[in-house]
Structures are given as C-alpha cells and as structure tokens.
Amino acid sequence: MSTQYSKYDSVAFENFSKKILNELTQDESLTMTLSAEETLFSRISKARVRQITNVAQASIDYVYIKGNKTLSFTLPYKAFEEDVDLALKKLKISREWIEKLPDDPYLVRPAFYGITKEENLNALPSNDEMLSGVLDYASHVDLAGMFASGDIVRATINSAGQFHWFKTRNFYLDYSLYNNKQKAVKSLFAGSTWDALALRENIKDSELKLSLMDRDSKIIERGSYRVFLAPSAVAELLGTLSWGGVSMGDHQRGNGSLKSLWEKTKHLSPKFNLTEDFSLGMSPRFNDRGEVAASSMPIIENGLLKNFLTSTRTSNEYKVETNFATDWEGMRSPVIKSGSLARENILKELGTGLYLSDLHYLNWSDRETARLTGMTRYACFWVEKGEIICPIQDLRFDESFYSIFGDALVDLTNYSEIIPNTGSYSQRDVGGSKVPGILLSEFKFTL
Amino acid sequence: MVNLKNLLNSLNTEADYISLRSVHHHSVSVGVRNEILEGVSSSEDNGLMIEVMIDGQIAYGATNSFELSEVKRCAEVARQSALMAKRFGLFPLTHQERPKVIGEYKSPASRGMDHFKPSEITDLLISLTGQMKIHDHIISRTANFSLIETHSHYVASNGSDVHQKIIRSTISLSATAASDKGTQRRTFGDEQSAQSGLERIDRAVLLKASQKIADEALALLEAPECPTETMDLLLAPDQMFLQIHESIGHPLELDRILGDERNYAGWSFVKPSDFGTLHYGSKLMNVTFDPTVVGQNASYFADDIGAIATREYLIKDGLLERGLGSLESQKRLNLPGVSSQRATSWNRPPIDRMANVNLEPGHSTMAEMLSTIERGVFMQTTRSWSIDDYRNKFQFGCEHAQLIENGKLTTIVKNPNYRGITAPFWNQLKMVGDKSTYQIGGLTNCGKGEPNQVIHVGHASPACLFSKIEVFGGGK
Ligand SMILES: [Zn+2]
C-alpha cells in the first residue's frame, strides 16, 4: 500500500468541472463541492488489528439554480470519464424537476470568491511502516483505538469562476489504554509529519497516567464539587456548543441554546473568550459555497456575545449580516483563549475536588437555560488538598453553560491543546479546536 | 449494472477467500419551513467493498469505481493489508465465519423512487406547515420527507450470492412555539422510519398530526415545570424506542462486550458470564431481535457476512439469553448471537449492530396501567438523551408530559426528564402495555464504530410503566 498514490488532483477535478459548467445556459448557475479521501483505517484492540480497511472515495455536491429556483444533488466522483455522463444526465433531470418547484426567496447565488489552492502533502512513511511502528511498540499494553492515515480533499468550484482547493495529508492514532480493572486513559497522537520517537513518548506518557488508575475507585456522592476540566473535556463542551449554541439561524427559529446571552439578559465570565480562528490551519476557510470566512472572528468576547455564526442563507432570511458560516452554522476551527493557571498549580488551586480528563455523550438537557448533561470518562480523579487520591466511579453531570463559563469559572490554564477532529462518519473530518483546561468553583453531579 | 460475479472471477487475487459487496444508495429529501421550500436534494452513491482473507486475516478495500483496473488495484491493496496485518491479527477467522448463502430480500414498499415527484411532495409539505400556523407564537414550522433506496449485492468465492433491495421513507414534522414564557417544541415522525415508500403517505393523518403538535407546543408554553420527585413513570412507545436502543440494544452488542468499541462508543456493563444468568429486568420483560417483521425499518434476509437473519429472544421473562453479535463475535466469545454484522455502506467494514430490537407486548391496557397509578407522569417523544460508556447511568428528556393523579391524566407539564441506572430501571418495570398500546418504529441515526458508521435500526414497543423513577424538570 502506498500513501503517495493519489487519485484526486486539482487539475483533473477542474477539467471535469468545466465540462459540466460549460453545459449551463444563461439563466442557470451551479456550484460543485468535492469531498474526497484516500485513507487507511486500522481498528485496533488489545494492540492488535481488529479490522483494516483501505478506502478511496469521493463525492460531489451540486447546487443548481435556474431563475429564482434551486435544488441540489450529490453524485459519486470516480475520476473516470463516466462521471461526465452521470452528471449531465442528472442535470437534465434537474431541469425537469426545477420547473415545477416554487421560487426560493432566500436564494444564495454563486459569486466569485477568488481562486485558492492549498496543499499540505508532507511525505509520510508507508502505512505499513507507521502502523507496525504503533503495534510493535504497543505490544505490551492493552491499547484500543483507531489508526488512520492518508489524504483528504475539500474543493469547491462554481459557474461564477471561483475555485478553491484544499488537500491535506495526515495521520492520527486515537487511542485509549486499559488496566485490568477496566479503567482507562485516553490520548491522541496526530500530525502531518511522522516522528517515531514522539509516538513512543506519547504512549509512555499514557502508561504513566494509567498507573494512577490502579488504585481502587471512589464512589462520589451526588452534589456540587470544585472541578478541573482538562482541555480534552473542554473540547467536548465546545463540541456541544456547535449543536445550536452559536448558530444565528437556530436562535432565530427558537432552537438556540444561548438565547439569554443573545438577548443580553445573561452574560458569561469576562475571562471567557471564544473565537473562530482559521490560523490553526486544520480546516479550509472556504465553505461549501466557496465563501471565505475571516481568518479570525470573535464569537464571545469577555463573556459577551459578539457574533453568532451566520450563513448567507440565514442572512438573506433574517436580514442580518453573513459571516460566511457553513449552512450548519457550527464552528470549524474554534479557539478558547487561555488564562493564567499554570500546569504545576492545577492540583494546588483545585484543592479538594475532582480532576476530570474527559467527558462523554453530552447533550442539552434544557436548551432554554443552556443546561448540559453528560458523563465523566477515562482518567478522572478525586483530589484532596492538592493531591490525587484515587480514580472515581463515573458520574453524570447536569449543569448550565452559564455556570461553567460564567459564575463558576475560576481560571483557565495558561496553556492550550490542539485537538484535531477525528470523526469519520461517511468521510474523514477536517478541522479541530484549540482549548485550555478550566478550573470551576462548582459543577453539579446528579447521578 | 455491473455483473459482480464476472468481476469477482476476473480478479485473480491470491487469497483463501474473497467477497465483493456493492451498495447503491439512491435518496431524495425535501424540506419545507414556514411554507417555504428549503431544499429538494437527491443523492446517489455507488461503490464496492472487497474483502480478502489470507491465513485467517481479513482486510478490506473500498472504491467507488467499478472499472476493472481500479477494482484490481483495490483488491491488491486489500491483499497487501491482509499480509501486513497477519502478524498483528486479533483473532484468526475461518470459512465458518463466512458461510455460503444464496437468497434475496425486497422491502414490502410498493412506490419507490420511480414514483417520486418533487412538486407533489413539496405541495404536501407546504400544506402541513400551513396547518401548524394556528397562532403567532408558532414561530417555526417544519416538514421533511426522505426516501432512500438501497440495493446491495454480495458475492463471494464460496458461491454466496445475495441481493437485497430496501426502500425506506420518513416524514417528520416539528412545531416550535415561543413567547415571553419561553420556547417549546413538539415533533412527529422522527422515530418512524420504515421500509415503505410513497404509498405510506396519508395526507389526512399527517394534517391531523401537524395540528396536534402545534396545539401541544402552544399548550406547553403555558404549562408548569415537570416536578422534581420520585414517582411512577409511564412511557409512550415513541420514548420507549430510544430507551430500548440505548439501555438494551447497545449494551448487548457483543463487539462492545469484547472491547472492540472501547475507544469510541464504549464498553458494556454486561459480562460474557451474564448470558443465561443476569436478570436484566422484571419478569414482564421480553425482548426480541427480529429482522423478520414485515416493513419494519431494519428487516433483512442476511447480514453483510452472509449469516441468515432469524428472530431470536435476547431477553426472556427478564432473563438475559443472547447478545447482538454475528458469527465473528460468537466465535470469539463462544456465545449464541444473531445475524447482525452490518455495514453502513460499501465504504465501511461490517460490525455488530442492532437490527429490529423489539420489546414484546404484554397484557395491560392503557386504562389498566393508569388506574394503578396514584401519583406519576406520562412522558412522550424523545427530546434529549445521554448514557455512559458502560450503558449504566442514563438521562432522558421528553417533549411532552402529563401528570397522573389517582389513576387519571391531569396537568400538562413542560421540560420533563428522568434518570436511572439500566438494570435497576428495567427491574422496576411494573406493567407492560398490550397490543393496543404497541407501536413499531425505526431510527435512522445509530452511530458507532471506528471508522464511524451510522445505520438504520428498528424498535417496537408497547407503553410501559416503571415504578419509583427519579423525575425532574428544566430550568436552572
Ligand atoms: Zn445507537
């Protein structure tokens, strides 16, 4: 197997696109958005291969407009001649379908948003070499997780002449280590250059953390506790915020979860600053329409709402300004500003309470009051007078965002972690977040 | 249409076993909000998964091209992966886990994609959201339709040959009411995906449902908060579906019990020794794995490794009997299972999944259940859900609830939630509704696996009564 073989290149895609775009008549327009990947996925359990899968796949979303009407379709992109026939056939059907559809009052027409090409294609060792590197080194531990490596493409081209191309080559080992009490620690080793030494350091570090989990777990009674949430736990909270928390459309339609912040009847801590910041370089700045977002945009500044993510469609409907968000209006590259808590002072400042490395299965329990529920997971400890005492039995929390990033926020760490998205529903995700840890004066556990 | 058997024969890949599984999805969806068409979209996806076994090690290669040169390249990549992974294999597979199977399956749907007319569906959805426009407080009214045809073909070097053509559709509605008293949302149909086509559309029924959710969203605005107390909990089938899914379906997946899923969705509180011994719930609890229910969302003939699907009891009279795992997991655990190793599409390897996991009806009418309740609450329609990685501590929120006092349904209350721990909760199952309370449903969005996969499942359930459950409301 070879990572360097690449089916999907920008010239072939551009040439293919032009064959379709050239078929359009004067009152028609089209946007074509490509998602492609060539990935090796290796599912690992007990540091051995459970399933190994090589995937080459690509599809194109087409948004077709005629007059004031629109419809969309998705087709596979095979990088073979037959793609053209398939697309033209579908275009013909779309012309028939669209005739009888009503006008779209919030139509977003394609425009020229420039031409950009970004390729981060570092040479990586072969998949064999990287995967064997992981499995040989980890053979003495119970490691479960996923090793993925390969190329990802996002591109968009439209009939107004714009063309954006983003291609990245990277890998990740998303894993957890287990002891014989079914206790675990979680880690992620990811990048676009391979460093075998760093991989070993990462696993060794996890082993060290796992040794702390050998002590018997303490059952913690329900109630409010002082807690420290590590960056990976904070990233989970942030992920939930993308479900209706920062979307202008959702707030306009009554499904938003930061309504009180929007209406200025509540505010968050002045220490809390949230930005959509593409300088992380993990996500393309262009969206499916090819609109290019600002390289950095504040969402929440000093605890006050600055901008909800707003797509051009939402902008057309509610007469508010667009900031070129995706139609989903979720965050693609969020960054929470760090604070002043130094790593060596975390336990001391926590005093007596809970150190939580990860959270799991979060959901809004009451959107209106921005209340979230979820579970603690992996390395979570009971801490007394600044000292780790023992792991805990997992707890359910149910707490408001206004408390977590508001009244209860004591401090944020002075360091942050970059956490790439490792999701792979249908295709491998791009994007990620950069977040510090947070110290809270109280956090409510209900079960 | 590509002849898959010919393609298999022309590969000449050196392997102990090789299979090809092609999957062709064709779907359309239409969305309307506040009487305005938000989108008509269609999608075609067509690809091939090649499975190669060498010395007991399986590896996969997936491609969306059926060109011989590309398929050969893909098969070779899979072969190389199998050779490489052999040294690190978790367990060796044999031909027993890839039985020869020949057969076909077709959904009972009669009107599929060929009958779809975008303007007809758009008109229908516009009238449904129009029906919800009963008050200025109803600020958002949505109606969505989707139709998906999936045609899979599986051939293997052992002579297996399985065609399955599945047609599914859903229509879902929502009404959001907002005033200075807050925001409330009612939905209909999200959990009713089924193997039926356009013939299932019943305009009169949908208009009535639209009216009902709008009325209820409006009424919820005025309702008091659900009280915080421990009381009897009566759950409607449209909440039971997800309760079954999260606290029976997932913990019984054998690959979770084996630890394959530990790094993602999680492990399970169920241990291999629990099969045949664990009293999962009260004696009234009977749960089946049933891919034979005509028209239910996850009915099929065989799974994606060739195991023929049959109806089996997972839990009988409260006792845990069998897990959700196909031939690979059954061999690893030496436990009975079901035919459930399924992939979301051509681009993913099959893993242990639910299919239709159904709670069988009991003998109590709704009136009989209500009459036994001194103080309780009746909850309907999932709003929020969360459960831990061992599938123990759960919390669910529902859209709508009504108090039950001295055997009668009384005050409507808003933001109802309840929490519990799986096995104790099911052991508090006090009464199980009869056929008259029984509904068949289906979910479209069960997520699991690394790489991630989302799959269709089915659930059916009567209304059920649980005693002494922690119930609470919303707000800070
Ligand atoms: Zn699920």
Q: Is A393 on the interface with B (CB under 8 A)?
A: no
Kindly state the DSSP code that residue A179 receives in the 8-state scheme: -
Please give the pLDDT value at position B1.
67
Contacts of A424 in chain B (CB under 8 A): 450-452
CA angle A63, A66, A69 (to 5 degrees): 80
A83-99 confidence digits (pLDDT tens): 899 999 999 999 999 99
| Whether A42 and B85 lie within 8 Å, measured CB to CB | yes
Cα separation, B405 vs B372, in Å, equals 10
Question: Could you say which residues from 1 to 60 on chain A have a Cβ atom under 8 Å away from some Cβ of chain B?
Answer: 1, 39-43, 45-59
Give the SS3 label for residue B217. Answer: helix
Confidence of residue A35 (pLDDT cuts 50, 70, 90): very high
Q: How far is B30 from chain A (nearest CA, A)?
A: 10
Q: CA of A296, closest CA in chain B: separation in Å?
A: 30
**Cβ-proximal residues to A204 (8 Å cutoff; 6+ apart), any chain:** none
Chain B residues close to A104, C-beta within 8 Å: 36-37
* Cβ–Cβ contact A95 with B under 8 A: no
Helix (H, G, I), strand (E, B) or coil at A206: helix
- Banded pLDDT at A259 (limits 50, 70, 90): very high
Dihedral sign (CA B131, B137, B140, B144): negative
Number of domains chain B is built from = 2
Strand partners, A39: A55, A150
With the C-alpha atoms ordered A372, A375, A379, A385, is the resulting torsion angle positive or negative? positive
Based on the fold, state whether residues B212 and B130 are members of the same structural domain: yes
Q: How far is B196 from chain A (nearest CA, A)?
A: 23
Q: Could you tell me which of A431, A152, A434, A120 has the C-alpha nearest to residue A293?
A: A431
Q: Ligand 1 center to residue A401 CA distance, Å?
A: 26
What is the DSSP code string of B299-343?
--SB-TTSPBP--EEEEETTEE---B--HHHHHHHT----S-EE-
- Report the b/e string of A234-267 with b at 16+ CB within 10 A: bbbbbbbbbbbbbbbbbbbbbbbbbbbbeeeebb
Token pair belonging to A319:
């007469």
Does the pLDDT of residue A398 top 60, yes or no? yes
Residues of chain A positioned with their CB less than 8 A from the CB of B262 = 45, 144, 176, 178, 184
CB atoms within 10 A of CB B376: 25
Rg (CA), chain A: 24
Instruction: Report CB contact under 8 Å: B451, A53.
Output: yes
CA gap A219, A212 in Å, rounded:
16
Non-local CB neighbours of A167 within 8 Å, separated by 6+ positions: A8, A10, A118, A119, A120, A121, A151, A152, A153, A154, A155
Give the closest of A49, A56, A90 to B90, CB-based. Answer: A49
Residues B184 and B166 in one domain: yes
- Supply the pTM of this predicted model: 0.97
Question: Strand A28-45 relative to strand A48-66: parallel, antiparallel, unpaired?
Answer: antiparallel
> Looking at the structure, do residues B147 and B29 belong to the same domain, yes or no?
yes
Q: Which residues pair with A177 in a beta bridge?
A: A143, A185
pLDDT of A273 above 50: yes
Distance (angstroms) between ligand 1 centre and the Cα of A175 equals 21
Whether residue B361 is found in the same domain as residue B245: yes
Which are the contacts of A201, defined by CB distance < 8 A and separation ≥ 6?
A: none
User: What does the DSSP 8-state code read for residue B344?
Assistant: S
pLDDT value at residue A24: 97
Give pLDDT tens digits along chain B (476 positions): 689 999 999 998 999 999 999 999 999 999 999 999 999 999 999 999 999 999 999 999 999 999 999 999 999 999 999 999 999 999 999 999 999 999 999 999 999 999 999 999 999 999 999 999 999 999 999 999 999 999 999 999 999 999 999 999 999 999 999 999 999 999 999 999 999 999 999 999 999 999 999 999 999 999 999 999 999 999 999 999 999 999 999 999 999 999 999 999 999 999 999 999 999 999 999 999 999 999 999 999 999 999 999 999 999 999 999 999 999 999 999 999 999 999 999 999 999 999 999 999 999 999 999 999 999 999 999 999 999 999 999 999 999 999 999 999 999 999 999 999 999 999 999 999 999 999 999 999 999 999 999 999 999 999 999 999 999 999 87
Q: Which structural domain range is residue B402 located in?
A: 229-473
B446 CA from centroid of ligand 1 (Å): 4
pLDDT above 70: residue A228: yes
Angle value at C-alpha B449, between B160 and B260, nearest 5 degrees: 90
Instruction: Enter the DSSP assignment of A292.
Output: B
B36 and B184 co-located in one domain: yes
Who among A51, A174, A364 is closest to B349 (CB)?
A51
| pLDDT at residue A5, as a whole number | 54
Q: Do A377 and B388 touch (CB under 8 A)?
A: yes
CA of residue B457 to ligand 1 center, whole Å: 8
In this complex, do A255 and B185 lie within 8 Å of one another by their Cβ atoms?
yes
Is there a single domain that holds both residue B280 and residue B187? no
Which domain-ending residue is among B222, B252, B272? B222
User: Which A residues, 415 through 444, put their C-beta within 8 Å of a C-beta on chain B?
Assistant: 423-426, 428
Chain B residues lying within 8 Å of A377, measured CB to CB:
266, 388-389
Longest dimension (CA), chain A: 73
Map tokens 């604070």 to a residue.
A339
Q: How far is CA B243 from CA B85, B353, B384, B445, in A?
A: 39, 16, 11, 15
Put simply, whether A100 touches B (Cβ < 8 Å) is yes
Ligand 1 midpoint to CA B245 (Å):
6
Question: Are B470 and B419 contacting, i.e. CB atoms less than 8 angstroms apart?
Answer: yes
Nearest CA in chain A to B35: A102
Beta-bridge mates of residue A85:
none
The Cα–Cα gap between A29 and B475 comes to: 48
Contact A80 B267 (CB under 8 A): no
Across the interface, of B65, B139, B450, the residue whose CB is closest to A145 is B450
Which amino acid is located at B46 in the chain?
N
**A416 forms bridges with which residues in the sheet?**
A436
CA–centroid distance, residue B347 to ligand 1 (Å): 19
CA of B459 to the centre of ligand 1 (A): 11
| Alpha-carbon gap, residue B455 to A177, rounded angstroms | 28
Residues of B whose CB is below 8 A from A70: 39
A251: pLDDT strictly greater than 80: yes
Q: Do B259 and A128 touch (CB under 8 A)?
A: no
Structure tokens at A116: 């950009």
List, in sequence order, every residue forming a beta bridge with A64; answer none if it has no partner.
Answer: A30, A71
Gap between the terminal Cα atoms of chain B: 59
Give the model's confidence band at A4: pLDDT under 50 very low, under 70 low, under 90 confident, else very high: very low
pLDDT > 90? residue A3: no
In this structure, are residues B186 and B201 in contact, taking their beta carbons and an 8 Å threshold? Answer: no
CA distance B279 to A119: 57
For residue A411, what are the β-bridge partners? A439
Same domain? B271 vs B194: no
* Token code pair at residue A70: 């629109």
Domain ranges of chain A: 10-212, 223-445
Cα B249 to ligand 1 centre (Å):
8
Same domain, B311 and B198: no
Query: A10-212: which CATH topology?
Result: PmbA/TldD fold (3.30.2290)
What angle, rounded to 10 degrees, do the helices at B68-85 and A127-137 form? Answer: 20
User: What CATH number is associated with residue B15?
Assistant: 3.30.2290.10
Q: Who among B39, B63, B264 is closest to A56 (CB)? A: B63
**A328 vs B: CB within 8 A:** no
Name which of A47, A101, A402 is nearest B40 (Cβ-Cβ): A101
User: What is the distance in angstroms between the CA of the first residue and the CA of the last residue of chain A?
Assistant: 48
**Cα separation of A263 and B444, whole Å?**
35
Co-location of B142 and B277 in the same domain: no
- Per-residue confidence (pLDDT) for residue B41, from 0 to 100: 97
Residue A256 has φ and ψ, to the nearest 5°, of -75, 155
Query: Is A1 in contact with B80 (Cβ distance < 8 A)?
Result: yes
Q: How far apart are CA B71 and CA B48, in angstroms?
A: 8
Asked whether the beta carbons of residue A97 and residue B45 sit closer than 8 angstroms, the reply is: no
Q: From the list B183, B267, B417, which residue is nearest A254 (CB)?
A: B183
Using omega within 30 degrees of 0 as the cis cutoff, is the peptide bond preceding B416 cis? Answer: no
A vs B: CB pairs below 8 A: 250
Measuring CA to CA, how many Å separate B110 from each of B107, B172, B199? Answer: 8, 20, 7
- The verdict on B242 and B206 lying in the same domain is no
Positive or negative, the Cα torsion across B367, B368, B374, B375? negative
- The candidate with the shortest Cα–Cα distance to A356, out of A232, A238, A271, is A232
User: Are B415 and A366 within 8 A, CB to CB?
Assistant: yes
Please determine, for residue A216, whether its predicted confidence score (pLDDT) is greater than 70: yes
Let me know: does A324 contact A394? Beta carbons within 8 Å. Answer: no
CB neighbour list of residue A415: distance below 8 Å, 6 or more residues apart: A338, A343, A436
Report yes or no: A184 and A176 within 8 Å, Cβ to Cβ. yes
C-alpha of residue B23 to centroid of ligand 1, in Å: 22
Nearest to A53 among B45, B349, B386 (CB): B349
| Number of C-beta neighbours around residue B285 at 10 A | 23
* Domain end marker among B197, B222, B247: B222
Please tell me the number of Cα atoms within 13 Å of A268 on its side-chain side.
25
Tens-place pLDDT, residues A324-361: 999 999 999 999 999 999 999 999 999 999 999 999 99
If asked whether residues B277 and B415 sit together in one domain, one would say: yes
Same domain, B238 and B218: no
What sign does the CA torsion over A199, A184, A373, A427 have?
Answer: positive
Task: Look up residue A120 and give its amino acid.
Answer: N
- State how far residue B271 is from chain A, nearest Cα, in angstroms: 12
Q: Tell which of B172, B206, B222 closes a domain.
A: B222
- Cβ distance of A1 and B452 shorter than 8 Å: no
> Which residue from B minimizes the CA distance to A71?
B40
C-alpha B126/C-alpha B31 separation (Å) is 9
Residue entry with tokens 């969206």: A287
Among A62, A368, A446, the strongest candidate for a mutation testing the B interface, having the largest count of B CBs within 10 A, is: A368
Whether B350 and B451 have beta carbons less than 8 Å apart is answered as no
Say whether B81 and A54 touch across the interface (CB within 8 A).
yes
Spatial contact of A401 and A257, defined as CB atoms under 8 Å apart? yes
A-chain residues near B177 (CB < 8 A):
254
A178 touches chain B (CB under 8 A): yes
Alpha helices in B98-223 (DSSP H): 118-131, 203-222
Report the 10 Å Cβ neighbour count for B114: 8
CA of B161 to the centre of ligand 1 (A): 29
